[in-house]
Structure 1
Amino acid sequence: MHNTTMLLIELGAIILGLGVIGRFAGRIGLSAIPLYLLAGLAFGHGGIFELSASEEFVAIGAEIGVILLLLLLGLEYSASELVDNLKTQYPSGAVDFVLNATPGAVAALVMGWGPVAAVALAGVTWISSSGVIAKVLTDLGRLGNRETPVVLGVLVMEDLAMAVYLPILTTLLAGVGLAGGSLSLIIALGTVGLVLYVALRHGRLISKAVSSDNPELLLLVVLGLTVLIAGIAQHLHVSAAVGAFLVGIALSGEVAENTHRLFAPLRDLFAAVFFVFFGLSTDPGNIPPVLVPALILAVVTVVTKVVTGWYAAQRAGISPKGRLRAGGALVARGEFSIVIAGLAAGVAAEIRPLATAYVLLMVIIGPLAARWTEPAVRALMPRLVRVPSGTAGQSPPAREEPGIPSGTTLRADSPTQP
């Protein structure tokens, strides 16, 4: 059969399958990400049936998926919001980094994968999934809870940290030596800083230049600009994902809202393709040897994320029940962990299957932790939940009344939704 014919058949089957999988995930109340990964494992190298004709096309679609994921994530925040969050949330961000990056780094070193793999696996275990968490908070009706801005603040800190972490990781993975690596890192961080400065000072001018009342023209201009900047960023060892993220930050106001509305369906499609491609590229036979480390990492990082949420909510004066809800909500990992593992697959072959198993576990555990952490701890350790959040020299415990501060938003139209 002609190669183009097979390409169309396989591509049509993949997209149709994604639709069926997404609908099924919605029916059972789960994120579709683990099912997308499982589908990729089933039809990739070493799976039940290997797709060959569409592999290159799907790889390009997966790259576009990462770019659109980060573009729309950047649209969630303005440069000024990122700076404000950095000023107020940096202690929580530091605790989040130490508690959740350390288990991944230690695991990589213990397994003998080397320091570069340790940096990569640290990122896999560190970053929570904004998409899954937004979906879970919406489903549980917690968007108005007092701890929700705290959860959002931690996620914003992680997103901002990615703009620094990914260039560092990309430079390390390039293996260009100490002098060349230092130069590449300076260029990468300088580029990130310059774009943030331009977005902060001249974001309105950029938005005005891009703005168009014609949806078709807006889509073409923003997509072209994003892919162009992503390509230039990757050439400078900043990572295409961060380039797209910075473009999203630079756009604001009505342009950002219109762009989000136009690109959300495209993001959902290509993000699903990305998760499937990651599964296609992973041999299922490589997962059993790393399943035990993945389970250990899952258990440890569930605890560390709950502690992170407790600390962040305590700083905001939230009561113990709200602190536990905040910690449980932060457990899920997803898109960023897969992106990082995909970048680092060449350093240690085991990173890809380990990350796949880990994300599968955490995407399933995440919604359960968000729902059951607080009642489970209340049942097992009632005294802990009753401890007042105010101590000598601190403000009294906050009430559990709902209400997100003015200006705080949390979109739930993520690629994890059916």
Structure 2
Amino acid sequence: MHPALLLIELGAIVLGLGLLGRFAGRYGLSPIPLYLLAGLAFGHGGLLPLDASEEFVSVGAEIGVILLLLMLGLEYTAADLVTNLKTQFPAGIVDFTLNAVPGALAALLLGWGPVAAVVLAGVTWISSSGVIAKVLSDLGRVGNRETPVILSVLVLEDLSMAVYLPIITALLAGTGLVTGSITLVIALGAAAVVLLVALRYGRLISQFVSSDDPEKLLLVVFGLTLLVAGIAQQVQVSAAVGAFLVGIALSGEVAEGAHTLLSPLRDLFAAVFFVFFGLNTDPASIPPVLVPALLLAVVTVITKIATGYWAARRAGIGERGRLRAGGALVARGEFSIVIAGIGVTAGLQPQLGPLATAYVLLLVIAGPLTARYAEPVVGRLRRTFNAPLSSPSSPSSPTAPPPAGSPVDGRSAEGQPLEVGPADADEEAPRRGAR
């Protein structure tokens, strides 16, 4: 490999990602589909395959997954995790049932087997907190009464990754029932120990890592994360789980400082990860799975809207707010690709990567549209058939408080500072001045 050629390819990749991100930002789009399309264009079977930088991109993609999960863990404390699991678990159960089951059934109908069914269930289950947080901000709905309901669902999905990832890691290891069970017990036991330590000694851990020098803080947190992720992978536990638990263990000013310092690295390597996923997907393999991906997308658009509708109704939100909550949850993105990438790396099913790519491309585009138009479209249909939407719930209706550490409470998954203010008496209009 010639060093000059490597530098040229890497420079072209990073520059191209920057230009694609700028283009997406100008038109209020998520850059994820553009990154995936770029990977398809320059991967195997694409327009101009990249060979010299393939090894670097592979390592960068793995770091991207680790940083995505680390930053996710930094959003929450162990106390947040326990509180949300106790108070919001009914919405989480409904969300899992309505959205994971279609993916599992699709894999079984395609003849992929039970392990692929578990993986595809995760792909269709997890919404994109980054895309959704940006959409809520762009539409001026941060102060709406349904927004805390949306955030509660997202928080439960994010936190469930700590349990879900060890399960698919054990299944993909291809070991026997006993060995796989031991791996799963080790992973869940490690998660439980970290949570217990974080609850009792989180402040001490943060003080140990803390530093007034940004350079030292960056090196310590980043190095610790890579170390723990590597050890986790060595003992057959997902590296992503290790990174997530490191983020959970840090809190307070350390978590805020690490989040600020690591956000640019996260954005860079996460973009590399999406490109890498596209690079390893042959564009010619997408047309054969396009119809299943489209059918699965249609079904899970409906089930996500139903999830948000049910969760908002449980919180006492009026029908317009329920529709807005459901429409906002449709987008899939970063973690659907992460889950599919784990399956593809394990050599699970050749069509899994193309199907996941097509599915995410469809829903990352459809998500902002359903968030904007679900409520007015249903309203117009009901007016056409003389069945107007129900009136808003009374101001005394219970409203779920915004979950601490949620993507809008503090930082979004894209690093944007957002806030949730008090709900209006009229849930149908956003709080004035909400960003």
TM category, shorter? over 0.9
Find the counterpart in structure 2 of residue 109 from structure 1. 108
8 Å contact 1:145–1:403 — kept in the other structure? no
Range 43-52 or range 147-156, more displaced: 147-156
Distance 1:353 1:285 in 2: 9
8 Å contact 2:172–2:343 — kept in the other structure? yes
Q: Please state if 1:33 is matched with 2:32.
A: yes
Structure 1's 98 and 3: CA in aligned 2 closer, same or farther, altered over 3 A? same
Q: Percent identity at matched positions?
A: 70
Counterpart AA for 1:249 = I
Q: Deviation digits for residues 354-389 of structure 1, max 9, x if unmatched?
A: 000000001000111111111111111254631665
Find the counterpart in structure 1 of residue 421 from structure 2. none
Find the counterpart in structure 1 of residue 235 from structure 2. 236
Find the counterpart in structure 2 of residue 414 from structure 1. 414
Structure 1's 203 and 71: CA in aligned 2 closer, same or farther, altered over 3 A? same
Distance 2:211 2:250 in 1: 13
Aligned with 1:385 (options 368, 371, 389): 389
Distance 1:36 1:181 in 2: 35
Distance 1:318 1:153 in 2: 14
| TM-score normalised by length of structure 1 | 0.94
Aligned to 1:385, what secondary structure does the other structure show? Answer: coil
Listed as ranges, the matches of 1:397-412 within 5 Å are 397=397, 409-412=409-412
Find the counterpart in structure 2 of residue 155 from structure 1. 154
Unaligned runs of 5+ in 2: 418-435
Range 404-413 or range 113-122, more displaced: 404-413
Distance 2:348 2:379 in 1: 43
Distance 2:356 2:86 in 1: 32
8 Å contact 1:325–1:370 — kept in the other structure? yes
Distance 1:301 1:120 in 2: 16
Distance 2:306 2:391 in 1: 16
| Number of residue pairs the alignment of both structures matches | 410
Find the counterpart in structure 1 of residue 287 from structure 2. 288
Structure 1's 170 and 72: CA in aligned 2 closer, same or farther, altered over 3 A? same
Shift of 1:397: 4.6
Shift of 1:317: 1.1
8 Å contact 2:304–2:327 — kept in the other structure? yes
Unaligned runs of 5+ in 1: none
Shift of 1:415: 7.3
Structure 1's 61 and 416: CA in aligned 2 closer, same or farther, altered over 3 A? farther
Q: Deviation digits for residues 152-196 of structure 1, max 9, x if unmatched?
A: 111110111110011000000001111111111111111111111
Range 45-54 or range 343-352, more displaced: 343-352
8 Å contact 2:149–2:402 — kept in the other structure? no
Distance 1:216 1:314 in 2: 47
Distance 1:322 1:231 in 2: 44
Distance 1:197 1:123 in 2: 26
Aligned to 1:381, what secondary structure does the other structure show? Answer: helix
Distance 1:41 1:348 in 2: 18
Counterpart AA for 1:14 = I
Distance 1:410 1:35 in 2: 27
8 Å contact 1:138–1:412 — kept in the other structure? no
Find the counterpart in structure 1 of residue 375 from structure 2. 374
Listed as ranges, the matches of 1:167-316 within 5 Å are 167-316=166-315
